[in-house]
């Protein structure tokens, strides 16, 4: 049915990806379509590429977009890996204008979390669930009984014992730059999770992002009380979660 289908778009610093999503089943019903993020990634340039993704699907309907920024009422408050001119820009209004469609824009890690809670490792889990995406930095999303608290930035938590911000210490970038073995890096990631565990007492951690595919290489270094799962939807999570959020908020 038409009302079950939403266009999900995942806006990143290097690529803009989209697909049509059956939000009842949590599945993409088309292949992902990807375009390079324009450089410089100014609002005008990026919006033009966003429009091309929408036009590829000949889409007229609800759109959900994950975006690499803290988002408040559609307005970007930060700019991670995109042009700084996005700060203060109403991304939802701009994308709606160029696409002539209603658009919801949310933080990209929140979008991934929405998908995992609705259809992945967090489905049906009561209590507090924290998703951490491991990549260039550390993205985060937190849920209480399936309800999202938007725009968390747990990757920016200061780790006092290590005198630095968490993502400078335990991201995949840190592992590569310091040429750490997976085991040594896993010890760092355990420190980070232990700190989050102490603060939030979660019922489940979900680990996503590119490094989650290598979980078998560092899982023996993680010795915390909280259960851990790896993300199930992988690279599709951002698109699916954005579509789910749009369906919830756009009436």
Question: What is the pLDDT, as a whole number, of residue 3?
Answer: 55
- Whole-model pTM: value is 0.89
Are the CB atoms for 18 and 28 separated by under 8 Å?
Answer: no
- Rounded Cα distance, 25 and 243, in Å: 12
Instruction: Domain 2-111: give its CATH superfamily.
Output: ATPase, nucleotide binding domain (3.30.420.40)
The pLDDT tens digits of the residues spanning 15-27 come to: 999 999 999 999 9
Tell which CATH classification among 3.10.20.600, 3.40.50.970, 3.30.420.40, 3.30.530.20 matches the domain 121-231: 3.30.420.40
Q: What is the DSSP letter of 58?
A: T
Where are the chain's structural domains?
A: 2-111, 121-231
Tokens of 63: 């759109």
The pLDDT tens digits of the residues spanning 43-99 come to: 999 999 999 999 999 999 999 999 999 999 999 999 978 999 999 999 999 999 999
The pLDDT tens digits of the residues spanning 190-218 come to: 999 999 999 999 999 999 988 888 999 99
pLDDT at 178 over 60: yes
| CATH topology identical between 2-111 and 121-231 | yes
Question: How far, CA to CA in Å, does 206 sit from each of 128, 158, 216, 221?
Answer: 11, 21, 14, 16
């Amino acid at each position: 049915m038409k009302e079950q289908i939403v266009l999900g778009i995942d806006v990143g610093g290097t690529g803009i990806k989209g697909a049509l999503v059956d939000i009842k089943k949590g599945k993409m019903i088309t292949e992902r379509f990807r375009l390079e993020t324009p450089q410089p990634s100014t609002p005008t340039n990026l919006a033009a590429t966003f429009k091309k993704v929408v036009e590829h699907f000949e889409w007229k309907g609800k759109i959900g977009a994950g975006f690499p920024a803290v988002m408040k009422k559609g307005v970007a408050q930060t700019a991670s890996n995109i042009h700084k001119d996005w700060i203060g820009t109403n991304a939802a209004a701009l994308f709606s204008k160029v696409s002539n469609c209603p658009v919801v824009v949310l933080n990209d890690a929140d979008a991934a979390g929405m998908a995992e809670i609705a259809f992945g490792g967090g489905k049906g889990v009561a209590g507090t669930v924290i998703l951490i995406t491991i990549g260039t930095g550390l993205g985060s999303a937190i849920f209480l009984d399936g309800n999202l608290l938007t725009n968390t930035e747990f990757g920016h938590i200061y780790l006092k014992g290590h005198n630095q911000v968490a993502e400078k210490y335990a991201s995949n970038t840190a592992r590569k730059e310091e040429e750490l073995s997976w085991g040594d890096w896993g010890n760092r990631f355990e420190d980070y999770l232990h700190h989050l565990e102490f603060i939030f007492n979660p019922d489940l951690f979900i680990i996503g992002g590119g490094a989650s595919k290598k979980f078998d290489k560092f899982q023996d270094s993680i010795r915390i009380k909280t259960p851990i799962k790896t993300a199930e939807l992988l690279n599709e999570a951002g698109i699916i979660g954005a579509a789910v959020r749009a369906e919830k908020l756009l009436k």
